[in-house]
């Protein structure tokens, strides 16, 4: 459709300069854009239902004959109302309109019409208010477009109808036929016509699937081409054999399908290519990323490599050391922990053992990048929570091997499409399944009127041997974090929680002080940990069973979900209490998402939907191309399009062949919107 993207909107009847401005506001600048401006949803006018069968609280279409129209009556000011009675042959309904005189003009006694709206049911009495009206030719499925002030969905629909008539008889398809067939996708021609004007909902499904695939494929191809710009050097570490089955036999549990898939993807990266693995493992807290890392290390080590695992803080490094030691117990693999607080003499021993190859896997903090650390054969570098490490730090560790394989682990559930763009240089594995038996954290939303009840709830948990977190973000701009938290603790002292040991964590503390506070809490020296800031991601305190979050509306959903993930790590049922006095419907809706689901990816998607990608990381950091249809959570689609993109690029790395001209054009178009085209040349 390239040429339609150059065709201005005023080619369409009824669209002049002022309308064009409204369309521009919707991001529609040409006829091609208009055809790619997809309906937000649909109204189903295809099967009018009987009045008595109308669903509650949902709109539907009814077909009824008008029996008696009452004259419009002025209620007050310029508000007029008119009502009429209609019948579908079985039941009667009263239909009311406000102000819409043009509808009054259209309706006449005895006429039959379609009405789309919500039927309210009272005992023996039905009512509909301000439905959309159409004559009986209007059956079918109607698109509903994201409208803007001054431009209704119906007006957009009419324009799209005209635009669709301008489509050539056969629309050129950017996706090669071979790929369409392989993935069971419909043609662009079908998709573009039916996404707007479907015959049935099956059409909508097929069209959406195809368009989402196209969008993801184009994004993947664009990203892959960006990736290729960085010259990748061959790795010196060859993996001949996959030892993951052997590793599984060491474990007391069975790995989940998602874990096995991620492990297989990593090992394939290390085995099948001369280039090093460069992969992001993304999984919600508790999804078992450490076991995946352990398995991949196992195979790497059995193939003669050394592995380094870098965590952002001492406490996380010690926890990883502990978990990995347990997971690899009985394997003969030699591990070491190297952090800043290891004594100088011990450090020297570790340095020696790394250089001689006596240590297979070293886990540590930034201490790993010290010049004194020399490896014999560093083949695999794993970093946890990569956003905490500067590029330089990671590069410093990587440079200690000859192009080692790289694995990055992230517990931040970033919507997949975003992850793909942000970590564009990494392949992605997602752990979208929890190990069996993982308990759900019950979450509730309260206002501050119920705070004392919440404190009593915390007290009960502490009295039965557990611990609690309270997060209280900074509220007053002119207050320091410390003042704010100290004021909170002072108030807490006057409540039922006053008798317990309370620890305090705030953002301005030195890392070593933070570690000390966390450790005291982990060891049970404090019962309650009050924090102004995000508690260390990944810290594991199994006895912590309640997370109370003050001013919860200050956080993004994903952040709240991360915070909530600090509890529910032991055997006892855990809870999260969100406190917010913000009564706005939007905020309540947002927070209630957390009460409904424990799935971090769903939450991230919802967060993205409600706040938009620009807001997703608190500040707009990335010029992300806008995606229209690609479902943010379809892992399957990402895998498929990734495979398809690979196949296309293998055949035609520069996308110069005639067959790929359409794809090339679409990639340039998508990336042009974020000013990224020059990178694609």
Name the site residues for ligand ADP (rule: CB under 6 A).
253-256, 259, 283, 285-291, 323, 411, 435
Q: Which does 255 bind (CB under 5 to 8 A by kind): ligand ADP, Mg ion, none?
A: ligand ADP
Identify which of 637, 629, 549, 563 has the alpha carbon closest to the alpha carbon of residue 600. Answer: 563
Cα–Cα distance, 679 to 603 (Å, whole number): 33
d(CA 221, CA 181): 19
507 C-beta neighbours (distance < 10 Å), count: 15
Report, in Å, the least distance between residue 56 CB and Mg ion. Answer: 45
Binding mask 10-49 for Mg ion (x = CB under 5 A): ----------------------------------------
**Among the listed residues 610, 583, 581, 614, the one whose alpha carbon sits nearest the alpha carbon of residue 594:** 610
Instruction: Please report how close the Cβ of residue 281 comes to ligand ADP at its closest, in angstroms.
Output: 9
Q: Identify which of residues 30 and 265 has a Cβ nearer to ligand ADP in the complex.
A: 265
Q: In angstroms, give the least distance from the CB of 259 to ligand ADP.
A: 6
Count the site residues for Mg ion by CB under 5 A. Answer: 2
From the list 308, 26, 267, 311, the residue with the least C-alpha distance to 148 is: 26
At its nearest, how many Å lie between Mg ion and the CB of residue 437? 17
| 287 contact choice in Mg ion, ligand ADP, none (CB below 5 to 8 Å, kind-dependent) | ligand ADP
CB of 288 to Mg ion, least distance (A): 8
Chain-centre distance for alpha carbon 159: 33
3-class DSSP assignment, residue 279: strand
At its nearest, how many Å lie between Mg ion and the CB of residue 618?
A: 23
Between residues 296 and 667, which has the closer beta carbon with respect to Mg ion? 296
Kindly state the smallest distance separating residue 7's Cβ from ligand ADP, in Å. Answer: 51
Q: How far apart are CA 559 and CA 316, in angstroms?
A: 19
Beta bridge mates, 134: 114
Q: Per-residue x/- mask for Mg ion, residues 504 to 543, rule CB under 5 A?
A: ----------------------------------x-----
Q: What is d(CA 238, CA 380) in angstroms, rounded to the nearest whole number?
A: 11
| d(C-alpha 447, C-alpha 578), whole Å | 8
**Which partner in Mg ion, ligand ADP, none is near 29 (CB below 5 to 8 A by kind)?**
none
Binding mask 578-607 for Mg ion (x = CB under 5 A): ------------------------------
Which residue's CB is nearer to ligand ADP, number 253 or number 275? 253
Shorter beta-carbon distance to ligand ADP: residue 263 or 285 = 285
Supply 50's token pair. Answer: 């009987």
| C-alpha to C-alpha distance for 359 and 265, rounded to whole angstroms | 26
DSSP H/E element including 467 = strand 467-471
Q: Distances from the Cα of 153 to the Cαs of 37, 143, 197, in angstroms?
A: 12, 8, 13
**CB closer to Mg ion out of 539 and 667:** 539
Contact between 296 and 407 under an 8 Å Cβ cutoff? The reply is: yes
User: Between residues 48 and 283, which has the closer beta carbon with respect to Mg ion?
Assistant: 283
Between 176 and 538, CB nearer to ligand ADP = 538
Q: Which two tokens stand for residue 256?
A: 């989940």
Task: List the x/- string, 282-321, binding to Mg ion by CB under 5 A.
Answer: --------x-------------------------------
Tokens at residue 47, please?
């099967």
For helices 600-611 and 585-596, the axis angle rounded to 10 degrees is: 170
Q: Which is nearer to Mg ion, 244 or 290 (CB)?
A: 290
Question: CA dist 426 to 294, 453, 674, Å?
Answer: 20, 47, 20
- Give the separation between CA 509 and CA 48, rounded to whole angstroms: 65
Q: By C-beta, is 11 or 254 nearer to ligand ADP?
A: 254
Q: Which residue, 290 or 299, has its beta carbon nearer to Mg ion?
A: 290
- Closest contact distance (angstroms) between CB of 674 and ligand ADP is 32
Q: Are 132 and 100 in contact (CB under 8 A)?
A: no
435 binds, among Mg ion, ligand ADP, none (CB under 5 to 8 A by kind): ligand ADP
Q: Which does 282 bind (CB under 5 to 8 A by kind): Mg ion, ligand ADP, none?
A: none
- Residue 340 interface partner, choices ligand ADP, Mg ion, none, CB cut-off 5-8 Å depending on type: none
Q: Evaluate whether 492 touches 530 at the Cβ level (below 8 Å).
A: yes
Least distance from ligand ADP to the Cβ atom of residue 287, Å? 4
Nearest Cα residue to 559 out of 593, 514, 607: 607
Q: How far apart are CA 390 and CA 310, in angstroms?
A: 12
Q: Report CA 578 to chain centroid distance, whole Å.
A: 21
Q: Which CB atom, from 30 or from 256, has the smaller least distance to Mg ion?
A: 256
List Cβ neighbours of 34 (8 Å cut-off, separation of 6 or more).
9, 23, 28, 159, 160, 163
Give which of Mg ion, ligand ADP, none residue 288 binds (C-beta under 5 to 8 Å, depending on kind). ligand ADP
Query: Quick one: 290 or 633, whose CB is closer to Mg ion?
Result: 290
Please, which residues bridge with residue 445 across strands?
A: 578
Contact of residue 286 among Mg ion, ligand ADP, none (CB under 5-8 Å per partner type):
ligand ADP
Residue 45: which of 116, 106, 99 has the closest Cα?
Answer: 116
What's the min distance (Å) between Cβ of 498 and ligand ADP?
34
**Least separation in angstroms between CB 534 and Mg ion:** 16
CB of 311 to ligand ADP, least distance (A): 11
Binding site for Mg ion (CB under 5 A): 290, 538
């Amino acid at each position: 459709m390239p040429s339609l993207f150059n065709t201005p909107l005023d080619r369409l009847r009824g669209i002049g300069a002022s309308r064009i401005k409204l369309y521009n506001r919707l991001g529609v600048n040409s006829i091609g854009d208009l055809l790619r401006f997809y309906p937000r949803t649909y109204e189903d006018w295809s099967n009018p239902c009987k009045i008595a069968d109308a669903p509650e609280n949902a709109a539907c279409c009814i077909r009824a004959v008008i029996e008696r129209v009452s004259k419009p009556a002025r209620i007050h000011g310029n508000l007029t109302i008119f009502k009429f009675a209609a019948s579908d042959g079985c039941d009667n309904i009263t239909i009311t309109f406000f102000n819409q005189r043009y509808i009054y003009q259209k309706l006449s006694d005895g006429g039959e019409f379609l009405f789309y709206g919500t039927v309210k049911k009272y005992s023996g009495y039905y009512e509909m208010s301000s439905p959309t009206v159409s004559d009986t030719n209007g059956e079918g499925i109607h698109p509903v477009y994201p409208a803007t002030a001054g431009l209704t969905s119906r007006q957009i629909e009419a324009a799209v109808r005209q635009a669709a008539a301008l489509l050539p008889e056969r629309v050129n398809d950017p996706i090669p036929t071979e790929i369409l067939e392989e993935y069971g996708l419909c043609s662009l021609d079908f998709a573009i016509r039916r996404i707007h004007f479907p015959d049935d909902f099956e059409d909508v499904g097929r069209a959406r699937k195809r368009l989402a695939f196209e969008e993801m494929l184009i994004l993947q191809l664009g990203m892959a081409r960006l990736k290729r710009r960085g010259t990748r050097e061959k790795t010196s570490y060859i993996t001949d054999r996959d030892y993951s089955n052997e590793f599984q036999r060491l474990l007391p549990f069975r790995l989940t399908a998602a874990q096995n898939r991620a492990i297989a993807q990593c090992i394939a990266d290390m085995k099948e290519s001369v280039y090093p693995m460069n992969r992001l493992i993304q999984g919600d807290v508790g999804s078992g990323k450490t076991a995946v890392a352990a398995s991949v290390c196992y195979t790497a080590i059995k193939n003669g490599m050394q592995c380094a695992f870098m965590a952002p803080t001492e406490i996380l490094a010690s926890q990883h050391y502990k978990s990995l030691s347990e997971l690899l117990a009985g394997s003969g693999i030699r591990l070491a922990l190297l952090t800043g607080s290891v004594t100088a003499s011990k450090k020297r021993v570790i340095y020696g053992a790394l250089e001689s190859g006596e240590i297979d896997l070293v886990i540590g903090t930034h201490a790993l990048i010290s010049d004194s650390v020399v490896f014999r054969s560093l083949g695999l570098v794993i970093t946890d929570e990569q956003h905490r490490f500067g590029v330089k730090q990671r590069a410093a560790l990587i440079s200690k091997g000859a192009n080692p394989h790289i694995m990055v682990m992230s517990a931040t559930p970033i919507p997949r499409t975003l992850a793909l763009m942000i970590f564009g240089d990494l392949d992605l594995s997602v752990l979208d399944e929890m190990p069996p038996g993982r308990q759900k954290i019950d979450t509730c939303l309260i206002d501050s009127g119920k705070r004392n009840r919440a404190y009593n709830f915390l007290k009960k948990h502490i009295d039965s041997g557990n611990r609690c977190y309270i997060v209280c973000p900074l509220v007053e701009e002119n207050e320091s974090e410390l003042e704010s938290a100290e004021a909170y603790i002072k108030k807490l002292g006057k409540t039922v929680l006053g008798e317990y040991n309370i620890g305090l964590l705030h953002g301005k503390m030195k890392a070593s002080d933070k570690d000390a506070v966390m450790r005291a809490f982990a060891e049970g020296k404090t019962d309650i940990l009050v924090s102004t800031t995000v508690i260390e991601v990944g810290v594991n305190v199994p006895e912590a069973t309640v997370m109370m979050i003050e001013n919860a509306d200050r956080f993004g959903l994903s952040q709240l979900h991360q915070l909530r993930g600090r509890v529910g790590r032991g055997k006892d049922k855990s809870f999260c209490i969100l406190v917010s006095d913000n009564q706005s419907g939007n905020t309540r809706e947002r927070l209630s998402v957390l009460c409904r689901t424990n799935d971090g990816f769903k939450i991230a998607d919802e967060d993205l939907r409600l706040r938009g990608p620009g807001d997703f990381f608190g500040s707009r950091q990335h010029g992300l191309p806008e995606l229209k249809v690609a479902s943010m959570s379809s892992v399957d689609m990402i895998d498929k399009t990734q495979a398809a993109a690979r196949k296309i690029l293998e055949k035609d790395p520069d996308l110069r062949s005639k067959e790929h001209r359409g794809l090339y054009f679409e990639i340039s178009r998508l990336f042009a919107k974020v000013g990224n085209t020059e990178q694609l040349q």
